[in-house]
Structure 1
């Protein structure tokens, strides 16, 4: 077999060529050849045979000393390698961005456009959750100054750069932490004004998704819904002088943000970080269980202090409290935290059944206004038996003690039997039957058209939305006199 230059590669292969794959802008299939009269055609220190048989998965370009065009020679990438903090590593001679961080390998090992030397085979050199390319040259959101790819907490506020600048990513399964807080009107970046769209946005808190999705057009928070106490919002040159800033900004010399609670969930930003509660600092209900993050933390800690639960039982489900703000169902029982009733302070189910369905399980009595075996009945009794965490949050009661004010009335019945509009009907009863507990006019309405007004149906424990359920003979009611 002829091998004129003695490089170990037959002349026929050198002349006819071979196909290689190069990852540059997309994946390119290239047919390459070499000179059968030269041991090292491209003079890159690698024999043509080595480039054909040993480099990359399909070989490298023996006629180009920099196969992938990243500014680094094939020999440097494949054989010589580089050193980072005393350890050697190599890059791929056929991939212009070996670690897929948005920076060409040459940009990383030579102080190029970003003026930083970074690890070319580690996409996140400083381990801050932000790829090297996204720290300086390709910042993942507008109105944002760059960060330092060699320091994982550029502004030294105790929160990692990548966590502060996190955007929505299906690939990384992350939600956005990028909330733009504007105290004045501002223009969306990349928006082209037309006769029907001037691109101006009203003040408020807006979520930036990513460069594909842009800003969510509807404000997540109105100005008054956010906790902006002490949160300075000066004129910002990056948004053409608008009064706006990111809720969390990791750049050097940025305004302080660790000790603010912009999402108004009673947890400071620093307390929401991964090494603390690992919640979303710009979403007051990270796990979407209807309970604010800080409220869950507060009462989870109280439950532990009061000995209602122990760390061992909590840890068995992977939770950090009876209401973990990063877990929608902390005890994994199929019921979300908002719908749990850990202190069991709702109404007594047996008493309710006896009241609204006295003939239940009694063959001699057919009287039943709300049957526990029907879907509506199940909903009714379940709802009243469980005074849920969400209801406790709404009413300002303590979810881990059944008698918040110590008056020997359980919270559930006490709240249920309030009468906010003083129409003689319990607030809880009105809520369940979808009346307005703050409007007394519904007292005199006959909702189901059975000849009995709502007040009389309430008085005699009948169903005001079922025309077949109404007070019986002898059950007198004068809504005007009572």
Structure 2
């Protein structure tokens, strides 16, 4: 009869420890090995084979050979080394540059040099590798070791202490004195060790205050012709092209030796330092020299040229002194001298050309009284317009000195500029035996044989 061998079933209950998954697995395997193999001769929780493997005495629970021993001085006891399957004779079991004890202390695997467990890992995503965290004595599992709201990596990058939240190392610190705290510098991505991160001449804090980008290098932030550093030196506003709000850009005022912080007198828009008839605002608009009445040196004042749409910066063509844009025989310099309009041959609009009026000593700027169309300063019966049309002198009643007034001669179709023949005093165009001068004296018609006495008539334009 066959005998049945009964093998007792041993159920072992193991205590569960709240450790990380790797340690828990290792602990379970260790306890199973000890319980099943009963190979811990010195009862120090270190199994004989593990001790022998790592050159420890399996029959001694004392000193470096015991559970509390730390022969490699890595901060892990032998019991912990066994638990984490690390080497008690090597302080860096995975050769990743980080001590086993440090790795275990921060829940990293001391037997893995890969991923987040390795030297280049960054489990807290603070831009410091595990190895750098070790050098900085920061926590690789906490992006802000000193809880000052500044990321460890950012602090290390900018030579701040990631384990000191006080003074200039903390969130409220301002080591570069740019009026931005470290917390604000981190938010703005500026350099807490450089007051002007983009090197544009403006402190980072000032740029943030005025809403400009402290990382965008604009050497002339307000495009007024003055670089930022000049603005700071002059105390003008680098964020406003016109610090004194007078309509004149700061750069133009400085270039023209005007005060960009004053809108009074000749420094303001309504000043006229060179007395050329152009206000400073107009000098700026036309880019003329506010200290020189004739910017192009052509003898024509800037204000006068601008008034008549001539270019105050050009002495050529119609803009020059000798030009005559209105074709009235008066060049620009003469028009300026007589204050007439170089763009109109008849400045006062009285149908009498400026040049003719000036030649006849009439006023080309007055169209009324004896200077206007209907004036008759020589009382010859011809108004000024008729004098102009007949080429006679409005200030001389008898241009050809034949004893007959110009007006009477024109009225009777005689030439007031011809003192000979039929037009002269001795002429008798109607052959009535009376000469022209007699006809005039008797007020008869020299073109009609008649002895009727002619009455004086009102003046007319012929």
TM-score class normalised by the smaller sequence: 0.3 to 0.5
User: When the two structures are superposed, what TM-score results if normalisation uses the length of structure 1?
Assistant: 0.33
Larger radius of gyration: 2
Q: Which has the higher contact order (CA 8 A, sep 6+)?
A: 1
Structure that is richer in strand per residue: 1
